[in-house]
Structure 1
Amino acid sequence: MPHDKHVDPLVDQMSLEEQVSLLSGEDLWSLPAIPRLAINKLRVTDGPNGARGSGTYVDATTAAAFPAAISLGATWNTDLIEQVGQAIAQEVKSKCAHVSLAPTVNIHRSVTNGRNFECFSEDPELTAALATSYIQGQQSEGVASTIKHFAGNESEFERTTINSVIDERTLRELYLRPFEDAVKKAGVWAVMSSYNKLNGTYTAENQWLLTDTLRNDWGFDGVVMSDWYGSRSTAPTINAGLDLEMPGPTRDRGDKLLAAVEAGEVSRDTIRARAMAIVKLMCRVGSIDDDQPFVERSDDQPSHRALIRKAGAEGTVLLKNQHKILPLNTTSCGTIAVIGPNAKTAQIMGGGSAQLTPHYRISPWDGLVAKLGEQGLVYAQGCSNYRWEPLHQGKTTVAFYDNQHWAGEPVYQEILDKAIAFWDTDFADNKVSKFNFSALINTTFDAPETGLYNLGFHCAGYAKVYLDGELVLDATTQWQKGRTFFEEGCDEIVVPLQLEAGKSYDIEIRFCNRQPDNIMVSGWRLGISQPLGNEGIQQAVQAAASADTAIVFVGRSGEWDTEGSDLENISLPGSQNQLVEAVLKANPNTIVVLQTGGPVEMPWLESVPALLQAWYPGQECGNAIADVIFGDQEPSGRLPQTFPRRWSDNPTHTNSPLNYPGQDGNVAYGEGLNIGYRHYDQHDIAPLFPFGFGLSYTNFELSDLVVNVNGQNRVAVTVTVENTGERAGAAVLQLYTSELSPTLQRPNKELKRFAKPVIEPGERASLSFTLTLRDFAYCDVESKGWRVNAGQFMVSVGFNAAQIDASAVITLEDDYQGY
């Protein structure tokens, strides 16, 4: 394998055409080879909670599904995150890929961002620390991490075109911090630009971002790639510092780039520098010599299973445990009513490009059965929580036509096992153009009962749906751009149907493509169901009343927490609040398990004795949750995001749509530095659960805080944590700093360090931290550096942002300017 010193001569052997060929993808997931120089393909795969491989978002080679990033963020465990990064790198190799498109490190600015589940935290320092460990784990395996989305992509509303207006100080202190540490501490090998504009310029052609900041300020020496279809120009992107346009075939480079060089718009030196970055990455990951056959494997490793289960449990947050109802005892818990829409459905991941096809899914019901057997369990769904009508399963035939009018004979036919398709660059055996095709789709539905059904359909394209030859749904004249298929599809259209038991209905869909606005995708999805009425809640009440304990599994799914679509509010979807309240009345010994990608409002919180937040914990979902419920694993998770009492308490919920979700193509980050717990501090708003909060099955106390300023611009902090409970547990200690009399606006406190020691009952752990002047500094935009003004500062330690147990005031005597 060539080393870096061999990159220069290798690139110099290339013709201009060969150099240019490396600057855009050959297809959806790879860069082209240059056989003349024995340069093999570089392949990438989506992450961050696994490695999907080259398959579609709905059908791919099976892969290990790890916990979503918000669940990993809740672990506050950098060592564990490094192990996860290593394991996902091994998964990347099983898919014959060299680059992982992860981690996602955008900040939880709003509680309604549809992609919060894919990001670690609302806090930049927690995010930076976890991202650094994740990257170090991946790259130790010779797989490149691609930290994303750089930058200002904190919502999914009009995300491919919106202009994020963020002042430089806020950018540097909050939204760029994880990227800075990824470069300086983890040495990340790749960065992905975001779709949006940043202060008026698309990030893929933003020289201040890609060159001035990333390369010149931080010293980045890797590859900058576009998000998929996120490059919109030729000369502006290449000159600004975007090395790689993805995916292929190219839209903006190739012949267009050669013409730009000929016209003097792009220099040959710039092309050479961009090609150098690509070849250097190929050397780092070994793809340059990787001539193995392309065969993706389903590599279901026992060690990965165990790690996923451990991480899923460790990310689970115990939010309430009145009368120590938890953990349950397997020998004395009695009968358990297992209730809720997420009880028998394993909600293991969010939606969008983070999706993959898992090796398996363990539902909460499965996990409880594995612990107790079925004999002591009763089940009731209670209500539904789906966003779209449940996907129709069954033989579905698709006939493709190489025109938009279903004319002539089909040029390709395929059979699906469910009524959903996602068509991007490679489909229909490449016998149709993605810009000019139509399809006839046929399936059948056998009605199990006579009654009312709902048929739901959405598509990226235009379609009409026929039932036994009669038009029942028109997604042509009714088509309006919505929040499906990465904002290229319409919202679901739902029509009621009166169907008869035992009758088989023929369903035909006449689909034709629509010219995409931004992301080159076509697709459709058909769902059908019988609505679950009030009788569902009554059945749940009966089950709860008959049991010793009720466990209610509620929340959302990857249909709600998904790329391309923000949430409209943070209420539990459907009738889930009514379900929880009804079960609590029937059985006061009720445990609620939430599975969401972020906060929800909880009008029933005062009545519930025990509450767990389990997020989307990966394929071992049910086992991980059961491990916590029965005490095999400590609930050592802590909230990486503040849970507000109501949506209106969130910093982005203002009277101005310009602040959120955006207006007239702009979104202004008007709250500045005060997001998350900083906002609640500033406005003296009591959250439902504060940042960093989480209970344990044991108790901890802090003592003996000592803070010393030494002569080397370092602040030494020591503190003792004692386990005063009866079982071992992991304490999450958080250290915050604040300036007492700032000359300009600063947050009341800022997280700077954290630790998670495991302590035996009755034992004490002494923790030490070293703070640098950077930890007390603010970004001084005018001098382009970091500044500390002489004065008094507070160092505080506690178990969450609202529980500060000890503080010390120190004096920093000299002004400081650093970079």
Structure 2
Amino acid sequence: MNGTLSEAAALVSRMTVEEQALLLSGDGWWRTHGIERLGLPAITCSDGPHGLRKLEGLFGNSVPATCFPTAPALAATWNTGLIREVGAALGREAQAADVQLLLGPGINIKRSPLGGRNFEYFSEDPVLSGRMAAAYIDGVQGEGVGTSLKHFAVNSQETLRMATSSDIDERTLREVYLQAFEIAVQHSQPWTVMSAYNPVNGVYASEHRQLLTDILRDEWGFNGFVVSDWGGINDRVEAVAAGTNLEMPGSGDYNRNRIIAAVREGRLPKETLARSVTEVVAVVLEASAARKSDATFDAEAHHALARRVGGESIVLLKNDDGVLPLRAGQKVALIGDFAKAPRYQGAGSSQVNPTRVTNTYYELTTLLGAENLVHAAGCADEGDTNDTLIEDAVGQAASAHVAIVLAGLPDSYESEGFDRRSIDMPPGHVRLIEAIAKAQPNIVVVLLNGSAVSMPWIDGVKGVVEGWLGGEAGGGALADVLTGRVNPSGRLSETFPVGIEQTPAFPAFPSHAGNALYGEGLFVGYRHYDMRNIEPLFPFGFGLSYTKFEYCGIDCSSDAFDADAGGSVRIQVKVRNVGALAGQEVVQLYVHEQAPAHPGPVNELRAFDKIMLAPGEEKTLFFTLDQRDFAHYDPQAHAWSVNPGAFDVRVGGSSRELPLEATLEVRARPLPRKLTRQSLVQDFSAIPAVYEEFARALGFAELVEPESAAASANMTREQVIAARKARVATRAFVNEMPINKVPAFSKGSLSEARLDEILRTASA
């Protein structure tokens, strides 16, 4: 976009301050302003992210568009090539609707399954989220339509979302909540990034200079513009200064006049305003040049793609006695209101007006024959039921060979704007499943939901299928998997807990106090379950197939890796299909640090790939790991750092099933520290003479002198052990003392002047 930036800068130099301020606010809800005298057009944006939602105003019907599966389902495919196809289809539909900017994807990390907007976000893991987002962006922008990566940053709850500060330590911020954004920005350069409603550590995201300028632009190299979430501006002048370019929706003259006044009064430099406007104009020029006035799209082809994606997203969670796939000639009882009136998308700003919607009842009738299928509603709207509905459903189920119960979460249970109260399904759905299970041993539960649910009935059913919110073709996708036309290959993009009490942020989520303390730190999702050795209901990355895979071997290109020398290490993995059917496996690679310097996750996802294998076929996969794959964020140095030592590379089919392992010795030098009066004595351990001076001044010379063998010889065994314990305790006391305490503690034997001299010398 460099050429466009220079063209934009030239155009902006011809604008008045009033015109520049005009371009930093929307023209209503969905358009930017143009400047006719300069030939600068307006552009139009539209909600996404799983389908185009072009509206006029805030409410009303949007244009018909393909409703693809929602984000957790897309992520559950673990197939970046397929997500790129979805992005390309969305780009074509945006071109056909004369939309230049699609507001998506959403990649906030799922801190808790109670998050009301979890159906719009990919995963609990930043690597999976980031790679899915990068593929999506590549697909959309490859069609000449921009994306808006959102919501930047740490937007985890809907409760009081415009006012609650996400209070988080720097390491957790970098390693968990920013990493997905970093991957997407550096790999795919979205045209825009959308700032979040919430403050981060007390500073509104739309005014957060460190996030929007220091990290996003200066560190990651983002070269597009930042747009506010709709109504997400707090102080307009501060937002411009921090790096938020476009305010949406437009506020008329209200904030525009504030910008103009701030420039005239010298509170906002003219150069800052011009730079902000230039970044907007560059994207406008790029979008205008890519506009296709005669664009159309093939609705049938896109519906077929939605069905294919839906099929790959479905996760087979349980399949006792091979109850699935359904077999020819079986009589099937299809139970549940969702069978004919499916829940296929979330509610709120991502709600799409689909071109058509298929349901599982119709699709199974087509595949199995009407004579082999019976249906009972079992529940009414919103999951309520009664004795009559239950009795009818039980009767139909008992007369069949297999009962398929469609259940999950109704619309009222999860939406933008509020968080879920629990992870439980409606009591009516639970009652229905338990009643059917007593009458029909061959029962399969199919779930339609945007995030994890509890399953108190799981021991009483033979099969469980996670169907997510599968989009307009979800009914056909489910029919394909249930009948075996598609071998399930979806893998969970989030951990499913047994109960809400198991989850990382319980009971602090959501916060109602105006401050959300991210006290669980790094331990989000599977990182939490691994560290605390908690067995979830289903682990991250888990999923079954109608065939079986064997992990046959692992090899590294080297036994050692120098993280400071650049380059990479290559991991070779062999996987074989040992079953009777062709199928796809998701091969997941995790890294484990054997002796971390600071507490950290047990395993972290670092790479993955999805492969198709015929029966008996074996394939070799190659993964490449570099310095960042072994690094943690050091909040003292404000940089990524590698702790030298042994790292295990673990590979398998889920976060809890990693049969292959290889060990690497990783070499790295410690990062230089900026030493201050708040530094600890132990921070000077790399300067032995200074460390010794501190120890002697504090009266603990024995810490820097070798242990006396002669003295030990005159002690009993108990005395030797006691002396060694005292030495360890003394060392800890000294090491963790801030050096500004040494002059007083040493009664002046180490002076303030000497302390200043040590700092000057150490920092030279």
What residue number does 1:50 align with?
51
Partner of 1:108: 110
Aligned to 2:264: 262
2:555 aligned partner, one-letter code? V
Q: 2:638 aligns with which of 769, 775, 784?
A: 784
Instruction: Supply the distance in 2 between the matched residues of 1:543 and 1:555 (Cα, whole angstroms).
Output: 20
Query: Deviation at 1:710?
Result: 5.3
1:813 corresponds to which of 667, 690, 693: 667
How much does 1:762 deviate?
0.2
More strand by share: 1
Map of 1:20 onto structure 2: 21
Equivalent residue number for residue 541 of structure 2: 692
Q: Deviations over 1:266-321 (max 9, x none)?
A: 1211111111011110122226x96969xxx9955222111100000100000011
Change (3 A) 1:298 1:614: farther
TM-score for both structures, normalised by structure 2: 0.85
Q: Distance in 2 between matches of 1:609 and 1:292?
A: 53
**Shift of residue 589 of structure 1?**
1.3
**What residue is the counterpart of 1:168 in the other structure?**
170
User: What's the counterpart of residue 383 of structure 1?
Assistant: 379
**After the TM superposition, which residues 402-441 of structure 1 pair with which residues of structure 2 at under 5 Å, given as runs?**
none
The answer as to whether partners of 1:634 and 1:729 remain within 8 angstroms in 2 is yes
In the alignment, does 2:436 pair up with 1:586? Answer: no
CA–CA separation in structure 2 for the residues paired with 1:298 and 1:757: 33
Q: For residue 329 of structure 2, what is the amino acid of its counterpart?
A: S
Report the CA distance between 1:347 and its aligned residue.
1.3
What amino acid sits opposite 1:675 in the alignment? V
Task: Map 1:283-432 to 2 at 5 A.
Answer: 283-286=285-288, 299=297, 301-329=299-327, 331-333=328-330, 335-384=331-380, 386=382
1:514 counterpart residue number: none
Q: 1:559 aligns with which of 398, 412, 418?
A: 412
Deviates more, 1:660-669 or 1:745-754: 660-669
Residue 450 (structure 2) aligns with: 597
1:792 maps to amino acid: A
Aligned partner of 2:648 among 794, 798, 813: 794
- Aligned residue among 500, 522, 539 for 1:647: 500
What's the CA shift for 1:232?
1.9
* C-alpha RMSD over aligned residues: 1.9
The CA deviation at 1:54 is: 1.8
Matching of residues 429-468 of structure 1 within 5 Å = none
Alignment-mate amino acid for residue 18 of structure 1 = E
Match of 1:534 among 376, 387, 396: 387
**d(CA) in 1 for partners of 2:125, 2:160:** 24
What amino acid sits opposite 2:23 in the alignment?
Answer: L
Aligned partner of 1:237 in structure 2 is 239
Q: Which residue of 2 aligns with 1:6?
A: 7
Q: What does residue range 174-189 of structure 1 map to in structure 2 within 5 Å?
A: 174-189=176-191
Instruction: Tell me how far 1:57 sits from its aligned partner.
Output: 5.2
Deviations 1:39-96 (Å, cap 9, x if unpaired)? 1111100000111112455522211101100000100001001111111111111221
Secondary structure of 2:338 counterpart: coil
CA 1:570–1:251 in structure 2 vs 1: closer, same or farther (change >3 Å)?
A: farther
- TM-score of the pair, normalised by structure 1: 0.79
Helix, strand or coil at the partner of 2:150: strand
Q: 1:89, 1:298 → 2: CA distance?
A: 11
1:501 aligned residue: none
* Letter of the structure 2 residue corresponding to residue 365 of structure 1: Y
- Offset at 1:621? 1.3
Contact kept in structure 2, 1:385 and 1:573, CA below 8 Å: no
Letter in 1 for 2:326: L
Aligned ranges for residues 632-711 of structure 1 at < 5 Å?
632-654=485-507, 659-707=508-556, 708=558, 709=560
State the 4+ residue runs in structure 1 displaced beyond 6 angstroms: none
Q: In the alignment, residue 374 of structure 1 is paired with which amino acid? A: A
Counterparts of 1:560 and 1:177 in 2: how far apart (Å)?
A: 30
**CA–CA distance in structure 2, aligned partners of residues 256 and 812 of structure 1:** 54
Asked if 1 retains the 8 angstrom alpha-carbon contact of 2:561 and 2:664, the reply is: no
SS of 1:42's equivalent in the other structure is coil
Whole-angstrom distance in 1 between the partners of 2:180 and 2:561: 28
Residue identity in the other structure for 1:763: E
Letter in 2 for 1:310: R
| Bigger radius of gyration | 2
What displacement does 1:560 show? 1.9
8 Å contact kept, 1:360–1:619? yes
Tell me which residue corresponds to 1:76. Answer: 78
Out of 187, 193, 196, the residue aligned to residue 194 of structure 1 is 196
2:738 matched to which residue of 1? none
1:257 positional shift:
1.5
Q: Could you tell me how far apart the structure 1 residues matched to 2:427 and 2:67 are? A: 27
Aligned to 1:41: 42
**In structure 2, C-alpha distance between the alignment counterparts of 1:370 and 1:273, rounded to whole Å:** 59
**Change over 3 Å in CA distance of 1:58–1:591 after alignment to 2:** farther
Look up the match of 1:720. 574
Supply the distance in 1 between the matched residues of 2:277 and 2:567 (Cα, whole angstroms): 42
Structure with bigger helix share is 2
CA contact (8 A) 1:353 1:563 kept: yes
Deviation at 1:370, TM superposition (A): 2.3
Q: Distance in 1 between matches of 2:641 and 2:523?
A: 19
What is aligned with 2:138?
A: 136
- The equivalent residue for 1:570 is 423
Partner of 2:453: helix, strand, or coil? Answer: coil
1:147 equivalent among 141, 149, 164: 149
Distance 1:108 1:172 in 2: 15
Aligned partners of 1:57 and 1:375: how far apart in 2? 44
Shift of 1:157: 1.0
Say if 1:313 and 1:624, in contact at 8 Å, map to a contact too: yes
Q: In the alignment, which of 614, 622, 631 is matched to residue 467 of structure 2?
A: 614
